[in-house]
Amino acid sequence: MKYYAPSTHYVGFHFKEYDDFIHTPVIRSEIRNLQTSNLGHYTVYLPAIDDKLLVPVLKQVPQVKWEVFSKHTRTSFTDGNVYVRPVNNEQFNSSLASSEGLFTGGGFEGPAEALFLGKKLLVVPMKFQYEQQCNAYALQQMGLPVIWGSNKNWLPVIQKWVNEPQEHQFNFPDETAAVIEKVVRTFAR
């Protein structure tokens, strides 16, 4: 880490407070203010995976309605139980708020928001993306499912995720102002 992110002072954010300088995720106010429900569908955001590869896999879980937000399409389309549409922040937030769960990459913001909203979560970290691998490992250590790059058959993992409850409770309080105040007080000279 001394070469990756050299620093003499640290302020970090993660799913857990692993140290005194690490805080829980900053959750956008638009997410904090969402009214949640469960309409039974699953929201999907996997920008590194082409729809031509993803849709056939999701169709093999026909009892589920999938709402896929894709950077690979400019127009919405439906293929069986899979509804694919272009990425749109407002529509994505609405889908997530009313979903059963989120199937996404190993980034930080999306998984943190899903956990904050109390949604089921399944992640697929991008290969060779160190931060995504670390995020996915942390989530796995917290008991959440991960599809690793070495797994070429996603279907059993997806089916298990859909069919089994996922009990978790995360408290991500809004500490943004306090963290900024601490940084300014401590490091501004």
Report pLDDT digits (tens) over 43-69.
999 999 999 999 999 999 999 999 999
Q: Residue 123 in contact with residue 144, Cβ under 8 Å?
A: yes
One-letter identity of residue 31: I
Looking at the DSSP assignment, which residues form a beta bridge with residue 158? Answer: none
Of 144, 56, 38, the C-alpha closest to 95 is 38
Q: What is the pLDDT of residue 57?
A: 97
User: 22: part of which helix (H) or strand (E)?
Assistant: strand 22-23
pLDDT band at 71 (very low <50, low <70, confident <90, very high): very high
Looking at the DSSP assignment, which residues form a beta bridge with residue 83? Answer: 67, 78
Of 29, 36, 173, the C-alpha closest to 101 is 36
Residue 62 is classified by DSSP as T
Any residues with CB less than 8 A from the CB of 161 and at least 6 apart, and which? 101, 103, 120, 122, 145
Q: 27-173 has which CATH code?
A: 3.40.50.2000
Q: In this model, does residue 22 exceed pLDDT 90?
A: no
One-letter identity of residue 76: S
Cα separations in angstroms, 181 against 8, 19, 109 = 19, 19, 22
Residue position matching structure tokens 């690979």: 72
Q: What is the pLDDT of residue 189?
A: 63
% of the chain surpassing 70 pLDDT: 98
pLDDT, tens digit (0-9, with 9 covering 90-100), for 79-97: 999 999 999 999 999 999 9
